[in-house]
Chains A and B, each alone.
With several copies, the nearest count.
Chain A
Amino acid sequence: MIRPRPGILNPEGQTIERALRDLGYAGIEGVRVGRTIGLRIEAADLTNCEQLVREACERLLANPVIEDFEFHVSEVSNPPLVAG
């Protein structure tokens, strides 16, 4: 899960917020749009897998200038399952 860092503008969120208001939904605020990336990864164990995913997020999947990331890993039969 990759989300815009606090303080960084989020045009998608702003637009949705306005559109929701136009549709008559009052009292909605703080809309922020991020990305989810789901994938399956083959790794020796969960720790190894977590390490891989963290590295992939840091190197490629998230841009630290504007984004934070968080992920969770869960084992599926084989190969294990990851949701970032």
Chain B
Amino acid sequence: MRFGIVRFPGSNCDFDCERAVRSGLGEVPVILWHKEESLLGADIVLLPGGFSYGDHLRAGAIARFSPIMKAVRAFAAAGGPVLGICNGFQILCEAHLLPGALIRNRGLRFRCHSVYLRVESTVTPFTGEYGERQILCLPIAHGEGQYVADADTIDELERDSRVIFRYVDRAGETTTDSNPNGSLRGIAGVCSAKRNVVGLMPHPERAISQLLGSADGLGVFQSAVAALASLEGVAS
């Protein structure tokens, strides 16, 4: 089983994803340079955070045209698990692999601190190991994380349980104060119609060890391993 981590110019959480996979799972991921056109046999694709192309124009707008994205698109279309974190989420939205868009935070400021998230659906390759409505503590670090989409899209996401993570308070309630960026309905992460592509703004890869404050993010990576194992089990 192989994690592939895409590196765009300006990605800066690629190292953190790599470290999470190594130290959290004991796996050695493969780094996928954006100018490549192959996923080098990766079974799970991670689009890390950062500022691809300096976030110029719009966050993720330019990265989506990278050669590697053709391969990612094909991989996603074939049902392969793809996770976009922060800038990776923005890229997936720009590439229309996920619905909606991420605009400047309410209040315009970059915000970095811990947030509480509620797992809204465990039916994705990246949340299967969490409990239903489990509360996680993960860091955020973004300036453009306000999730928006038109009303029909939002309704559809809610109806199909495609909202995967929601910002909540410690007690698990959605409140204005617990929503760090003004996202509609406190949406922190969504998935594609086929549920194999997931994007979220918070950083699970930074929450792998209690030494740094939280190990709640590890489940995202463990879920991917488990999902893949069960797929392979079905296949064999």
- Residues on A lying within 8 angstroms of B by beta carbon are 7-9, 11-12, 15-16, 19, 22-23, 33, 60-61, 63, 65-66
Complex alpha-carbon distance, A22 and B182, angstroms: 22
Least Cβ distance of A80 to chain B in Å?
22
Query: Is A7 within 8 A of B150, CB to CB?
Result: yes
Query: Is B146 within 8 A of A9, CB to CB?
Result: yes
Query: Is A11 within 8 A of B108, CB to CB?
Result: yes
Chain B residues whose CB sits within 8 angstroms of the CB of A9 once the complex forms: 103, 146, 148, 182
Least Cβ distance of B199 to chain A in Å?
14
- Residues on B lying within 8 angstroms of A by beta carbon are 53-54, 56-58, 61-62, 65, 93-94, 100-101, 103-108, 146, 148-150, 182
Chain A residues whose CB sits within 8 angstroms of the CB of B104 once the complex forms: 11-12
Chain A residues whose CB sits within 8 angstroms of the CB of B149 once the complex forms: 65
Least Cβ distance of B50 to chain A in Å?
14
Complex alpha-carbon distance, A61 and B56, angstroms: 11
Complex alpha-carbon distance, A43 and B183, angstroms: 35
Least Cβ distance of B160 to chain A in Å?
18
Query: Is B53 within 8 A of A63, CB to CB?
Result: no
Given the known inter-chain contacts A65-B101, A66-B103, please indicate yes or no for A12 contacting B65, CB distance below 8 A: no
Q: Which residue in A7, A8, A60 is a CB contact (below 8 Å) of B62?
A: A60
Query: Is A11 within 8 A of B56, CB to CB?
Result: yes
Chain A residues whose CB sits within 8 angstroms of the CB of B61 once the complex forms: 60, 63
Complex alpha-carbon distance, A65 and B58, angstroms: 12
Least Cβ distance of B182 to chain A in Å?
7
